[in-house]
Chain A
Amino acid sequence: MNGHEHDRWSEDVAAYVLGALEPGQVAELERHAEGCEACRNELRWLQPAVAAIAEAAPRREPPPQLRERLLAEVRAGARAAGVEAEPEGGLAAARHRFGTWLRGGGPGTRWRPAAAALAVVVVLVAGFVGYEVGNDGGGGGGATWTGAHGAVTAEVVSSGGGAELNLAHVEALPPDRVLEAWVQREGEVEPVKALFVPDRDGNASTTIADMHGVEIVMVTREPAGGTMKPTGEPIVQVPIQS
């Protein structure tokens, strides 16, 4: 490490800690700092000043419903994390029950997967609409499918082996309710351990870890903590084209 290089980067340490360095220079400075103890010391020295600036924002009280929403989602997530420890037999039994429920054994809407061979498909079953709006075509990006029911719209964007599920125009939920996502594979529906809540604008999103073999993604409203079996009709469904 020579002094000239340190002097050059030392000028930018303040901008770095304030988040004001040009995007392309951030990684360069970090690489330099790895081998420059003087710069590391300067960074450590200035960090508390930045923390003080963050604290200098005029104090405002967050609305109580923000805390309620956060804790509802967190408690739902905690319950979902606990579900992972359930013995395999429990999930297999649940899959069977959901299949029965979807075939008409419960209060849900009857529907079937869309034909996989179509590049663009519109499925209209019992008021639900789903269509594929794009795929990677070998270009490296993820495929996207959408669905809608009433005002609620849903988008499933594949990413690696999983997908992001994004909803819009979802009505606000009472504190004791959450959204729960489900997937159908080979005609059987199973929970994906994805519990979430909409934000103030009615947007909600979650992640589906494994999209292998998924034919349909759907979302229901469930009691906080989620369920092993849907208790109501889906608020939206998204047919997935392989």
Chain B
Amino acid sequence: MAVKREKAERLADEELMPLIGAKDPEAFAVLYDRHGGAAYSLAYRIVGEAGAAEDVTQEAFISLWRSGARYDRTRGSVRSWMLSIVRNRAIDALRAGAGKAPKLDFDDEAVLEQRPAPERTDEQALQRETAGELRGALGGLPGEQAKVIELAYYGGFSQSEIARMLGVPLGTVKGRMRLGLEKIRGELAEGLA
């Protein structure tokens, strides 16, 4: 028997998950209403197009519906778990749209110009990330730290790929990622203090 909407709305996310695992549609609807906006926003930020963002969000929530029982509260909040599913599916969609994993022959402009459009995802991503659209948690970081974090999280590039794209040593990329995350984490901790 499904719970009533009013009751489901009073439950914490972690309490909704067992109900979703038992295929309760009202619990699912409440969870979507709480986190659907953030999920869609993240998907849009990664794939950069409304239709694809819609598909990613739909797939992610259906995945949650089908596997809700697998949620492990010791590994974080439901919202962060949900957003990690969205992020992974969005990166998959980004790569599928490119037809393959991002390519990295960046230093050869002529080769880039000759490539079919779908293969230029990495170049376009680099341009997008370097356009200075930094917000929220990333807004307070030095540009080079924000750039490697955005390329990694929103662009789906590995640290080695980022090093090649930016023409810097791998150790530099590792260091910038680390410093950037530490700074964000420190500000979160200060906000809680």
Contact = CB atoms under 8 A, between A and B. Distances in A.
Interface size class of B (residues with CB under 8 A): 35 or more
A54 B87 contact: yes
Which of A50, A57, A81 counts the most chain B CB atoms within 10 A? A57
A21 B159 contact: yes
B120 interface: no
A70 interface: yes
Interface stretch (B7-15, B106-114, B123-131, B176-184): B176-184
A11 B175 CA distance: 8
A70 B62 CA distance: 7
B157 A53 contact: no
B177 A14 contact: yes
Nearest to A76: B25
Interface string A191-217: 000000001110000000000000000
Interface string A46-72: 111111111111111111001101110
Contact of A58 (B29, B45, B91): B45
A180 B135 CA distance: 44
Taking chain B's interface residues, is the majority helix, strand, or loop, or is none over half, making it mixed? helix
A78 B33 CA distance: 18
A59 B177 contact: no
Which of A12, A45, A47 counts the most chain B CB atoms within 10 A? A47
B164 interface: no
A34 interface: no
B76 A47 contact: yes
Interface of A: 11-15, 17-23, 45-63, 66-67, 69-71, 73-75, 77-78, 81, 199-201
Given A15-B159, A54-B86, 15 more contacts: A18-B177, A19-B87, A19-B91, A19-B153, A45-B185, A48-B188, A51-B79, A54-B84, A55-B136, A57-B46, A58-B45, A58-B133, A59-B37, A74-B28, A78-B2
